[in-house]
Structure 1
Amino acid sequence: MTHGIHHVTAISGPARRNVEFYLDTLGLRLVKKTVNFDDPGTYHLYYGDEAGQPGSILTFFPWEHVAPGRLGVGETQETTFRVPAGSIGYWTQRLVEKGVKHSTPVRRFGETVLAFTDPDGMRLALVGVPGADAEPAWSVGDIPAEHAIRGFHGVSLLVKETAPTGAILTDVLGFTEAGTEGAYVRFRSGAPMGGFVDLRVAGDFLRGRQGGGSVHHVAFRAADDAAEAEMVRKLQENHGIRTTEQKDRNYFRSVYFREPNGVLFEIATDIPGFAVDEPAATLGEALKLPSFLEGRRAEIERVLPELT
């Protein structure tokens, strides 16, 4: 069974600006254009690799007039993507040319990390990974395939203390502790994409406030419903944590819970995937609605903003 991150869901400002940044600047693929099932007047946009594989999927709820979030304990501090180790120079130059706010590359756990922010202030980074050049890459537009993003590297979470979250990662979510560096404790799974979670100890630092640029939740992989049910059982029996009931998100089935430091976690099934309601070749081109909203399509399409 492959463990690791399934997707990361964040909050952004205007939808068109979000699409322009993630497609044109970062070169990701828009793999699904749907709505927030709980707030259907708002898009839910999914970006990823060519097929939208688990471990490559970054999703957004774009709200036009959202107030900025504030980073704090109980939140994702940074979401990181994998690129070939030799591509950091290319990306540094690209971020300069595109006017993207970024930091000088640093070394972390033996890898080169180039941190930057998106137009809403979401904290992102590119991690140069040896051997990633041999992995498949989605490339259209002006980013050469040899430099293209290969999916997630992982996330870093800002926590008061590492042990309670570490216990969930190792006992339930399929990670193992892989080392410490400074304030970071690293956990890894065997997944080639989305295989790392770093916990950054912040002690009694201020708690986060959700808003534009904030990560709403981090979703972890379960192969299928049975695997998800087993993880739910372990959470309750070993850690006293109850999840929500399972929710059908059309492209995966999910349960949600707050881990002990307050980060919202989801467990999402790998099945059925994004090609369940449109061909793989045309992913993300048409607005897809769940069956219970299809009758409201005309009304929903009227209120959603143009993306191009």
Structure 2
Amino acid sequence: MSIATSGLHHVTAIAGNPQRNADFYLKTLGLRMVKTTVNFDDPGTYHLYYGDESGRPGSLMTFFPFDGAPSGRQGTGQATTTAFSVPEHSIGWWKQHLESVGVDAGRVHNRDGEDALTFRDPDGLGLSLVAHPQGDPRAPWDNGVVPAEHGIRGLHSVTLSVTQEEATAGMLDGLGLRLVSEEGNRFRFAAGDGGPGAFADVLVTPGAPQGMVAAGTVHHVAWRAPDQQTQANWRQELVGSGVNVTSILDRQYFRSIYFREPGGTLLEIASDDPGFTADEPLLELGRALKLPPWLEPSREQIEAALPSLNLPSENNPETMSA
């Protein structure tokens, strides 16, 4: 294809209790709540966006939290690990920090020259903190909870678990990712110039069970398109190559198209524009429930159906509004 992504836009997962989810990603991982809204396809459920100061593409982890949702099963046909990028000197600090709040971080391991720390969030979602030896120039969210020198810089990579790699590799190649390393049953692909935020690892596990999407699993992985016109052109190319692609959907802060790669993982191409300041100022991101114009007439009913959620009343997430 003539169009190629520059890297990851966001990863969206399913969670259980929304307050527990917010507490972990704001207070334990030190991310910013950049948008509090609802699942546009199911407005009785929150859609919570975490990221850096402005929610730049490539920094975003988002959740649909269903209070009381059953646990899913991680397996083939889905993204099984979401990795965040941290400074090279910070892995030891993060191990100590996670263990101090009761998170089992395991041991530090090295792969592709990168130190990594793997753990799970309160719903069992597979996460990793990875230190790239060439560093990561992106700025962290400086919130006073995690020291800025150790703060998460954004997404590092996703791991797609499949039963065989050929067809998935072909799809990634069509998105502009190239194979850059291979270690046993793990194949690393890179978008653009490579580096943190531009990696996808394909893990081949033929005997593993099929994944089941519910709490503690990834719903979809989104790749970047620089603008909406490029996205529309990309959709035409995908349709022309026989891929079953959705229409372009308005997600208020970006536009989206969805399709599955042959291994089963749901993928999205999301536009970089218009961004999260489309409906609230930068300094106030994430503090109030925002609804798109077509749901605003139902605000009263939507708010009544949503579970209570204490949000930061200022930039320090230790200060939560009642």
Per the TM superposition, whether the score is higher than 0.5 is yes
Which aligned pairs between 1:109-258 and structure 2 lie closer than 5 A? 109-132=112-135, 134-171=137-174, 173-189=175-191, 190=193, 193-238=196-241, 240-258=242-260
Q: Distance in 2 between matches of 1:136 and 1:65?
A: 35
Q: Structure 1 counterpart of 2:258, which letter?
A: Y
Within 1, Cα distance between the matches of 2:260 and 2:159? 16
Q: Distance in 2 between matches of 1:193 and 1:248?
A: 28
CA distance in 2: counterparts of 1:181 and 1:107, whole angstroms: 12
**Alpha-carbon distance in structure 2 between the residues aligned to 1:183 and 1:95:** 29
Verify the 8 A CA contact 1:15 1:64 in the aligned structure 2: yes
Q: Deviations over 1:172-204 (max 9, x none)?
A: x22111010121100011265521000000124
Aligned-partner Cα distance in 2 for 1:85–1:154:
16
Structure 1 residue ranges without an equivalent (≥5): none
**1:39 paired to 2:42:** yes
Q: Percent identity?
A: 50
Once residues 234 and 166 of structure 1 are traced to their aligned partners in structure 2, the CA distance between those partners, rounded to angstroms, is 18
- Tell me by how many angstroms 1:102 deviates: 2.0
- Residue 289 (structure 1) aligned to one of 266, 288, 291: 291
CA 1:202–1:133 in structure 2 vs 1: closer, same or farther (change >3 Å)?
Answer: closer
Q: Is the 8 A contact 2:47 2:65 kept in 1?
A: yes
2:313 counterpart residue number:
none
1:82 pairs, out of 85, 88, 94, with 85
1:60 maps to 63
Determine helix, strand or coil for the equivalent of 1:220.
Answer: strand
CA drift at 1:304:
1.4
Using the alignment, how far apart are the partners of 1:237 and 1:161 within structure 2? Answer: 25
Deviations 1:91-124 (A, max 9, x none): 0000110101222111111100100100000000
Q: Which residue does 2:318 correspond to in 1?
A: none
Q: What displacement does 1:130 show?
A: 2.8
Amino acid across the alignment from 1:181:
E
Amino acid at match of 1:27: G
**Does 225-234 or 64-73 show the bigger shift?**
225-234
TM-score (ref. length: structure 1): 0.96
Match in the other structure for 1:107: 110
The alignment's TM-score, normalised by the length of structure 2, stands at: 0.92
Q: Distance in 2 between matches of 1:198 and 1:148?
A: 23
User: In the alignment, what sits opposite 2:278?
Assistant: 276
Q: Give the letter for the 1:4 counterpart.
A: G
Of 17, 20, 31, which residue of structure 2 is paired with 1:17?
Answer: 20
Note if 1:26 corresponds to 2:29: yes
Match of 1:132, SS state, is: coil
Deviation of 1:132 (Å):
3.1
Distance (Å, rounded) in 2 between the aligned partners of 1:177 and 1:230: 24
**Corresponding letter in the other structure for 2:12:** T
Could you say if the C-alpha distance between residues 252 and 133 of structure 1 is closer, same or farther in structure 2, counting changes exceeding 3 Å? closer
Deviations 1:239-262 (A, max 9, x none): x21201110000010111111011
